[in-house]
Amino acid sequence: MVMNPKRPIGLLKLMGAIALAAGPCAVQAADAPRAPRAPSRQPNIVVLLGDDLGYSDMGCFGGEIRTPNIDALAKAGVRCTNFYTNPTCSPSRSCLLTGIDNHRNGLGNMDEYTAPNQRGVPGYEGYLSPQVVTLPEVLKTAGYHTYMVGKWHLGKQPDMIPAARGFERDFTLLDGAGSYWNMDNFTAAAPKSVFTEDGKYLTSLPADYYATKTYTDKLIGYIDANRSDGKPFFAYVAHQAPHDPFHMPRDWRNRHVGEYDVGYDAVRQARVKKQIELGIMLPDTQLAERMWFLPDPVVLAPAAKAMIGKKMELYAGLVENLDHHIGRLVDHLKQIGEYDNTIFVVFGDNGAEGTDLFAMVAGSPGTRDFLFAASKWSNNHPNAWGDPGSYVGYGPMWAQVSMTPFSQYKGWVAEGGIRNALIVSGPVVKREKGSINRGLMHIGDIMPTLLEAAGATRPATFKDAEQPPMVGKSWMRVLAGEAESPRTEQDAIGWEIFGNRAVRQGDWKIRWQIKPFGTSDWELYNVTADPAERKDLAAEQPERLKAMLTQWDAYVAANNVILPNRTMFETMEKQMPQRVSVDEGYPPLLYKKQFVPPADMMAEAKP
């Protein structure tokens, strides 16, 4: 590795950058739906989803990363600090698009980690169930154009792709991740990522393809193609960024050189200080304890600090590039006169990614060449990070920074796995612009909120199947300034993934996580007073814990929750190719063979 002798120790620079920054689903069924409002003109809707985007990454939520376009949406709308998703991507996306708990809509577990006792059980299909109606399907019947660009991760068969689930136009990566530059996937068994465009499986990508840019270009084209008919549009912009691998053009990679050499502790401290100044966090907020397996960064050698810091530099550049392309879309809507009539909903799909996948598999003998075909993923000199064929993630230390001030990250039901920054702006926001809201909100609320905003009604039956109740609650009264929360102190929200489980009700939360990320027993926290989950109160308040456990039981019964008989870690062990038993029928998605689309549904990418 070639080190830059001029790399500065960047604490002061980092603090200055921060100072410049912009000033699961419910246990109980939703209340009876209110009569839809009938606006004089139906609003456009843009859902901007960042993949693994952290709570504190955006400037308006305390980060030093420069996100002026996202921050401008926050300034024009409202920031919600108490918003929850699911712990991982496909369960979150399924809940977003259906308003139904993921255990009932097909993603009770990620397809990659479905346990043997969950296979074949309704709600655990590993793809979005065809028996539940989606948000675009309802909006389409209400007179909307429906567009999608970005990552799908909810099924690959012809009846599962975006075009079959209500999207009129789409340009979509069907896999859970992949190269930003081309169709390279990660495994030797399935080396090619699968894309669709307008219901056709692609044999090639545009010549100048770069994921974040191309998704934006395509969406702008879809919007312009239908401008003349006067119909509103719904756009689901499910960006791949900032999910690893950290791929980006070279001119976006060196915008923070040396700033992160100060180490992850210093950056977390700077971020929580800014969060308190902005009002995102309360004045006495403490940081979660550093993950026990991470060393104090002050003991690291200079070369190690520089290597680790460079990973975060790349992540920051990737987030800034994402913000740039969001700005392109917003600017275009302003130019064509649609901005003022557009609702924007901006958030990340789960906690930040704490697994440095390349480091993990490189340390597992016999697996690296299977996971990363040497000819495609061998470009891993630090000077090439970001180029095609490179694979870099930033690991648990920076994931915890992204989730400041919370504990843990993606995949877990600690606050760092499920709590996300949320921005809503547009004509539905009547409360003070740039304000902060602390109401308890959930990803399952998005569908009922947007249906009410559009004046649309979800059908009681779909494809002859009675629809489960939407478990979310509309935010319209909150956005109008008529209420502070869509929930009462009695309403509860539940989660389960990989056997880890949690419930939040009012200020209180219980969680159960497998060791070593938990105690393998129920813990109790007041997450309003203690958002970092530093003090387990289960022993001190057994009666409250007992009452909360009744909410967990209600969640299990209402949503057909089946705890897996194999943990995520056991599943990962089974994924190692030399240990997979074909007789068990248990190589998960990561090791399934390349999906082959029907020949009559294949096409080259459109210009």
The enclosing domain of 308 has a CATH number of: 3.40.720.10
Residue 371: band (very low, low, confident or very high) from pLDDT cuts 50, 70, 90? low
**Range in 294-298, 322-326, 480-484 the model is least confident about:** 294-298
Residue 68 lies in a domain: yes
Is pLDDT at 364 greater than 90 in this prediction?
no
* pTM greater than 0.85 (yes/no): yes
Q: Tell me, what DSSP letter sits at residue 421?
A: E
Query: pLDDT tens digits, residue range 397-453?
Result: 999 999 999 999 999 999 999 999 999 999 999 999 999 999 999 999 999 999 999
Q: What residues have CB less than 8 Å from 484, skipping those under 6 apart?
A: 437, 438, 439, 478
Asked if residue 86 belongs to a domain, the reply is yes
The predicted pLDDT at position 373 comes to: 57
Q: Is residue 29 part of a domain?
A: no
Alpha carbon distances (Å) from 13 to 8, 474, 503: 9, 42, 40
538 domain residue, yes or no = no
Strand partners, 238: 49, 150
Where residue 32 falls among pLDDT bands split at 50, 70, 90?
Answer: very low
Q: b/e for 8-38, b at 16 or more Cβ within 10 A?
A: ebbbebbbebbeebbebbbbbebeeeeebee
Q: Is the pLDDT of residue 580 over 90?
A: no
Does the residue 524 lie in any domain? no
C-alpha closest to that of 100 among 122, 133, 130: 133
Domain range for 463 is 43-494+572-603
Coil, strand or helix at 145:
strand
Hunting for tokens 């060196």 — which residue is that?
Answer: 254
173 assigned to some structural domain: yes
Residue 513 falls in which region: left (phi positive, over 0), alpha (psi -120 to 50) or beta: beta
Q: Which of 496, 448, 503 is nearest to 475 (CA)?
A: 448
> Which one is catalytic: 89, 243, 256, 325?
89
* Cβ atoms 447, 470 nearer than 8 A: yes
Q: What is the DSSP letter of 184?
A: B
Q: What is the pLDDT of residue 188?
A: 73
Tell me the pLDDT tens digit for each residue of 108-139.
999 888 889 999 999 999 999 999 999 999 99
Instruction: Judge whether residue 157 has pLDDT over 60.
Output: yes
| Averaged confidence pLDDT in the chain | 89
In a domain, 37, yes or no: no
Number of domains in the chain: 1
Annotation says 239 is catalytic: no
Compute the distance between CA of residue 102 and CA of residue 105 in angstroms, rounded to an integer.
Answer: 5
For residue 300, give the amino acid letter: L
- 324 catalytically annotated: no
Q: What HEC string does 480-499 produce?
A: CCCCCCCCCCCCEEEEEECC
Q: What is the C-alpha separation between 98 and 400, in angstroms, rounded? A: 30
Is the pLDDT assigned to residue 579 strictly greater than 80? no
In a domain, 4, yes or no: no
Q: Which of 145, 153, 247, 325 is catalytic?
A: 153
CA 356 to chain centre: 17
From the list 403, 413, 406, the residue with the least C-alpha distance to 561 is: 413
